[in-house]
Amino acid sequence: MTQETAADTAAWTGAKAILFDLDGVLTPTASVHERAWQELFDGYLASQPGVSGYRESDYFDHIDGKPRFDGVRDFLASRGITLPEGPLDDDPAHDTVHGLGNRKNAVFNDIVSAGVEPFQGSVRFLQAALDRGLKVAVVSSSRNAPAVLKAAGLSRHFAVVVDGVVAAEQGLPGKPNPATYEYAAKLLDLSSSECVVVEDAVSGVQAGQAGSFHSVIGVDRGAGRQTLLDAGATLVVNDLQELIP
């Protein structure tokens, strides 16, 4: 074991649970979300003359890791646009915050319906954690987490899934607030200090850093190593397999 590997392994040594973000950590669905958001805003902004178009950086700057409707609001705010909220189940054809969010969700579901292949390094790390007797949970801002876990063949590993639906039912604020991660720890009957947070998004790392967790492991899927460290990650890896001794 190299000195670097030993340091990485120490980030989860002594913990009793691993709390995984889903999109971009366990599954490559972050790229699917990026594609769905781009399709949504390319279409919407085409009818907004004089407004700058959607850029790849907008996903990381305004959307990544946040609850869906917060992502809609924050992106629109970056363009100086304010829309009515509309009902939560608003028609995807309506240009409201909830309508646009539901339109994005429809695009996402169409893409993932063909199945999702999880990151193999993440699956190996998950199995290593389970083999050590650690508890595991998924904490995701997405309301699609159960469907994505099922499509990826990972549902059987996670009795605890705190997603956007659970957060709404429990009145929990989304990331970067640590409340959803703290709630997952509570459901596992553990304290936050006994749990490791694993995240690829800045808002998720900030959520982990804001709570009293054992450590926060960042996975660089595009946000940038230094960006995740600056957000509060204990360490950053390119692949979770790097954490296996």
Residue positions annotated with a catalytic role:
21, 23
DSSP letter string, 45-70: HTTSTTSPPP-HHHIIIIITTS-HHH
| CA 71/CA 210 separation, integer angstroms | 20
Peptide bond into 176 cis (omega under 30): yes
